[in-house]
Chain A
């Protein structure tokens, strides 16, 4: 009885929080992005008096939005893949071997998370300039993002490697499998969910990151967040900001739903190879 009503209370609070945190801001953003410049949306009105796609076309044509989109959607996937590749050796060792001091080593790997991004980016800018490498500022952003988000990837991939069944590896070896086949039948199926999770997290982190992209990239290299902040900074036009934040957020949501679906197909029975029906 208590469990049931507790369940209900939790469920209702979840809905309320969900509405306050997600639905309301979303609707507000959508409404704001539709405000027509002819009539301002004043506090006494529930919805904008005149609605149009003017702001959308305006932002698309007049600002750096096209460049920003291109840059962001080039940067984020590149960073996710590179971070994933960088994380594999460390995660392999953490996930497959036991050694003294492993827990401390794992903690040390999280250190980049506590370094403020501004400090990191100022340091990197200084380095780039002093080595005369200003042309490589995009590569520097990629590298900086990879370093910043590596802890997430390592943590996720470590769990992935822990999921690989030693018996599958042994069974493959026992049947004379080559190294490649061993990875194909024992490692990859178990690592698949971790691959997706790591790519997803790093992708979202990278696409939303401002400090490094701004300090290292400006003024030539714009991403959606840097464009968003500069739009807000110069002359803050709320409807324009709404358009940008929607553009920033919607693909993430789509991507998340898509990956969530992929993750769900990787069910535990498929990973363990056991599971009686």
Chain B
């Protein structure tokens, strides 16, 4: 069931177009990440959904009700801020109870909600403390507790982990995911960290310059990037510009690239926008292959334990390969190949 619909949002600041025809439809209990480079409009989307910014054009529906003109205090959304924005002179308990009190939830009901939140977030030891007496991870949990204790329809996260160190980030990320599924929350999660987005989401919305570039499950985003941007922004890809596509039989085509001729499998019709072919480094198979065999010289070797990363130069073009094989030498000539079905055709955008 759709809980949030955002239709055709436009937003500009002066001459800068921040959002260009942005639409989105999210189901109840879904976890959707907004992933994109800095300045692409992620925070703007969240602020429009929560009501802090009104779009120039477009509508926001929560449970099929048009809330475009509803102020933030009347919308049933809750925001988790990047800096947590805990009220510094209120204790943990008062911070968490703030929303219960302001929303005038009856005493006995709010008591149950509060206790449930405390238990799920393991905050019972910290209730009397002030925010500046807590660790970063604890502050994050309090912020989460404050946002979810009133059971909002939608919870919005704006880069909630960016103030934590790398180790804590992993733990808190898993906690957010656990709590989201335990409380059956619908979540929109803004991040510019791709591994965060891939690991935590039901769907990833990849944004570029105020537009949706691709929206898909994490696996599909990784395995089937549709654009130059998604192939290069999520994970590592080798991307080649191609020319002179020739149709072969059984939906194979052959193209000219700067590393030589490549044969690939592509069912759809090529358009003018399809000008790149890409492949993931781990799809390369070292050794002579039946098709698409390439020659290159090893320029760098980085052994990573489970796998080895190679940088290979074909003429002057650098290519990345990830392989389980070992025993490479710098400047050694190697052969490797990519199966036609592992070569992807990308759009220019």
Contact = CB atoms under 8 A, between A and B. Distances in A.
Which of A173, A177, A273, A277 counts the most B-chain CB atoms under 10 A from its CB? Answer: A273
Contact of B79 (A165, A174, A177, A178): A174
Given A167-B81, A276-B136, A176 B74 contact: yes
A168 B143 CA distance: 12
B58 interface: no
Interface residues of A, number: 25
A273 B74 contact: no
B87 A189 contact: yes
Nearest to B75: A174
Nearest to B149: A175
B222 interface: no
A254 interface: no
Contacts of A275: 132
A195 to B, nearest CB: 14
B240 interface: no
Interface string B91-102: 000000011001
A269 interface: yes
Contacts of B81: 167, 170-171
A100 B84 CA distance: 32
Given A174-B79, A175-B146, A178-B102, A273 B73 contact: no
Contacts of A172: 87, 98, 102
A185 interface: yes
A176 B105 CA distance: 12
B268 interface: no
Q: Provide the main secondary structure of the chain A interface.
A: helix
A273 B87 contact: yes
Which of A181, A185, A186 has the most chain B CB within a 10 Å cutoff?
A185
Contact of B88 (A173, A270, A277): A270
Given A175-B78, A176-B74, A276-B136, A170 B89 contact: no
B147 to A, nearest CB: 8
Contacts of B103: 175-176
A269 B98 CA distance: 20
B148 to A, nearest CB: 11
Given A171-B79, A176-B102, A277-B135, A269 B88 contact: yes
A174 B150 CA distance: 11
B89 A270 contact: yes
Of B84, B86, B102, B133, chain A has the most CB atoms within 10 Å of the CB of B102
Interface in B120-161: 130-136, 139, 146-147, 150
Nearest to B163: A274
A123 B72 CA distance: 51
A134 interface: no
Contact of A174 (B73, B87, B132, B134): B73
Contacts of B79: 170-171, 174
Given A174-B79, A276-B135, A277-B135, A181 B102 contact: yes
B24 interface: no
A272 B136 CA distance: 14
B77 interface: yes
B87 A186 contact: yes
A185 B77 CA distance: 20
Contacts of A177: 73, 98, 102
A197 interface: no
A261 B320 CA distance: 62
Contacts of A272: 83, 88
B248 interface: no
Contacts of A189: 87-89
Interface string B46-74: 00001010000000000000000001111
A165 B82 CA distance: 13
Interface string A253-277: 0000000000000000111111111
A173 B85 CA distance: 12
Contacts of A276: 135-136, 139
Interface in A88-124: none
Nearest to B78: A174
B330 interface: no
Contact of B99 (A165, A175, A274): A175
B33 to A, nearest CB: 20
Interface string B180-218: 000000000000000000000000000000000000000
Interface string A154-187: 0000000000010110111111111001000110
B135 A185 contact: no
A273 B94 CA distance: 14
Interface in A111-157: none
Contacts of B132: 269-270, 273-275, 277
A84 B52 CA distance: 30
A271 B90 CA distance: 11
Contact of B102 (A175, A273, A274, A277): A175
A178 B74 CA distance: 11
Interface of A: 165, 167-168, 170-178, 181, 185-186, 189, 269-277
| 9 shortest interchain CB distances as A-B pairs | A175-B99, A273-B88, A167-B85, A171-B85, A269-B132, A185-B87, A176-B73, A176-B102, A273-B86
8 contacts: A167-B81, A171-B81, A175-B98, A185-B98, A189-B89, A273-B88, A274-B84, A277-B132
Given A170-B52, A175-B150, 9 more contacts: A168-B85, A174-B72, A176-B103, A177-B98, A189-B88, A269-B88, A270-B132, A274-B83, A274-B132
